[in-house]
Amino acid sequence: MSALINQTNSLVSELYKPFLDLSEVKDSPIFLKRIGFEYNDLVSHHYDVSIQRLLPESLRHQLLSETGLTDYDVKRPQDLPEHLRTDHWTVLCNYLKNIEKLSVLDKTNVFRLLLTLGFHDYLISLEPQFDKKRIMQSDSYHATLWYAVETAKMFKFVDYGVSFNPKNLLWIGENTESTAANGFVGLRALTSLVVYFSKEIRDIDNSERCYKLIKEKLACTDFEGDVFKESVHKSRIFRATALFPFIKKDYSLMIDEMNACERLANDAIKFAATEQEKLMANENLLTTYESRSKESLALKNMDKAEGYILGKLNLEPSDSVSHLEYGDILCTLRIFNSALHLLLYMKVTIQ
């Protein structure tokens, strides 16, 4: 058993290397590909929205604890011992040495990378003064920079129950123009909040407020003829806004939102042209299937839930969470032999 655990820990640490030291790992989980995209944006002085899923800070600590790689468990990137640093990690540390002198674009990319790598406390400690005048400039990255800081604060609440005041994120959502240049940050702020109000604190009134603001803002957002960006961003938004009718128990509206989400997710697959776009589209379809499976379970439609989970496994066969979800459904349906075969398959795959 100990040998199996050691093999599993070694596999996990290898797959999650981008999360630990910015290594490039070909077969890492699809949601970790955003790390490479964000690093490339940093060094090329460019900004674009990539894969949506973020990992909580606690996962970094848990991963390092369970794999025994405790030397990587540092509070700041520059605290990592020299002998453990990759070239990419050293580049990030060099940016951090000169954080005050960086352009707002470079600082935004640094903040976003810190957020993705799980350095939430450190990111919050770098918090600049909240400047509403600069944030409202549509050609500025100040809103995007602040979005990263506020997202870190929100994750601290979700992760550890640390007090979070959504007023700054709500102000960004209400007052910032959403453009391709700033990654449609106003819409993303409101999308984050509708999830927060619906899922984390179940505040129906504020969830409805954000839902309506999203619909208003979306109606006047110019995607500049980019059909891929329009499809993938709208799909992400509808996936989030479906949570409001869910907590309100308006299941008809929830299904409408999720139908739109899935249709747009499939459109994004069709319109994706570059490697980054294809990965974004695949990851978005994965999260869509995940949400649709949960929706189907909530509506007691086991056949649909099974179909969506199998769709996830088809897109990313190495996703252990989907295997476990599928096993749960098989157990619920009392198909115990198939559930046992699935668990044996997972064990053989790990070995």
Span 144-200, pLDDT tens digits = 999 999 999 999 999 999 999 999 999 999 988 888 878 899 999 999 999 999 999
User: Is residue 104 domain-resident?
Assistant: yes
pLDDT surpasses 90 at 39? yes
What was the pLDDT predicted at 334?
A: 53
pTM here is 0.87
Conformational region of residue 202, where left means phi above 0, alpha means psi within -120 to 50, and beta covers everything else = left
Euclidean distance between CA atoms 173 and 197, whole angstroms: 14
User: Is residue 182 domain-resident?
Assistant: no
What was the pLDDT predicted at 332?
A: 63
Total domains, the chain: 1
Residue type, 17: K
User: Is residue 299 domain-resident?
Assistant: no
**Lowest-pLDDT choice from 11-25, 122-136, 282-296, 328-342:** 328-342
User: Is residue 53 domain-resident?
Assistant: yes
User: Is residue 75 domain-resident?
Assistant: yes
**H-only helix segments in the chain:** 2-15, 17-21, 33-43, 57-67, 87-97, 104-116, 120-125, 132-135, 142-160, 167-175, 185-195, 204-219, 227-241, 243-247, 251-271, 275-298, 302-315, 320-332, 336-350
Euclidean distance between CA atoms 323 and 3, whole angstroms: 23
Domain coverage including residue 118: 1-126
User: Is residue 273 domain-resident?
Assistant: no
User: Is residue 336 domain-resident?
Assistant: no
